[in-house]
């Protein structure tokens, strides 16, 4: 099983504070003869009348604390694309998100290339503040 990201617990707590119920930690998805491990899967708890319904998500949490932010971005984007493809086959109603700390997101916006790449690949992401445990932005294209 892969190691947890530095902000794993902070993001999980943030998600739960925002009304999500974490259903898997990690979320194991079969791909062919192998498995992938997405950091979290969650369900938004929405009650309408007597029925409960809500959005299903899977989230890959990234710190971007390696030696190269380009390599970190490359790795995160590759994981996101593979996970999106896998879930399109395994559980198409669940959306994949990439979790990005607020300070990292602001740094990436300094170089518009990274934002354009996120837009080009239609990466769904959630920006959060790990200290305040607060979601800053959800982005879905």
Q: Is residue 113 part of a domain?
A: yes
Q: What is the pLDDT of residue 135?
A: 96
* CA atoms of 73 and 70, how far apart (whole Å): 5
Domain count, the chain: 1
Residue 46: enclosing H or E segment and its boundaries?
Answer: strand 46-48
CATH of the domain at 119: 3.40.1350.10
Residue 24: exposure state from Cβ atoms within 10 A (0-12, 13-18, ≥19): middle
Q: Is residue 106 part of a domain?
A: yes
Q: Is residue 31 part of a domain?
A: yes
For residue 67, give its domain range: 8-139
Q: Is residue 3 part of a domain?
A: no
- pLDDT in 10s for each residue of the chain, 141 residues: 677 778 999 999 999 999 999 999 999 999 999 999 999 999 997 656 555 568 999 999 998 888 888 899 999 999 999 999 999 999 999 999 999 999 988 887 778 898 899 999 999 999 999 999 999 999 987
Query: In angstroms, how far is the first alpha carbon of the chain from the final one?
Result: 31
Contact 104, 114 (CB under 8 A): no
- pTM of the model as a whole: 0.90
Q: Is residue 2 part of a domain?
A: no
Q: Is residue 12 part of a domain?
A: yes
Q: Is residue 117 part of a domain?
A: yes
Residue 6: exposure state from Cβ atoms within 10 A (0-12, 13-18, ≥19): middle
Q: Is residue 63 part of a domain?
A: yes
């Amino acid at each position: 099983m892969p190691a947890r990201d530095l902000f794993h617990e902070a993001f999980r707590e943030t998600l739960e504070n925002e009304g999500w119920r974490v259903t898997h930690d990690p979320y194991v998805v079969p791909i062919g003869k192998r498995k992938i491990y997405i950091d979290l899967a969650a369900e938004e708890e929405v009650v309408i009348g007597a029925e409960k319904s809500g959005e299903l998500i899977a989230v890959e949490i990234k710190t971007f604390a390696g030696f190269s932010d380009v390599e970190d971005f490359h790795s995160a984007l590759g994981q996101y694309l593979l996970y999106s493809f896998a879930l399109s086959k395994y559980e198409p109603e669940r959306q994949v998100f990439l979790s990005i700390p607020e300070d990292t997101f602001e740094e990436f916006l300094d170089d518009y290339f990274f934002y354009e790449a996120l837009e080009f690949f239609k990466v769904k992401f959630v920006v959060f503040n790990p200290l305040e445990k607060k979601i800053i932005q959800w982005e879905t294209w």
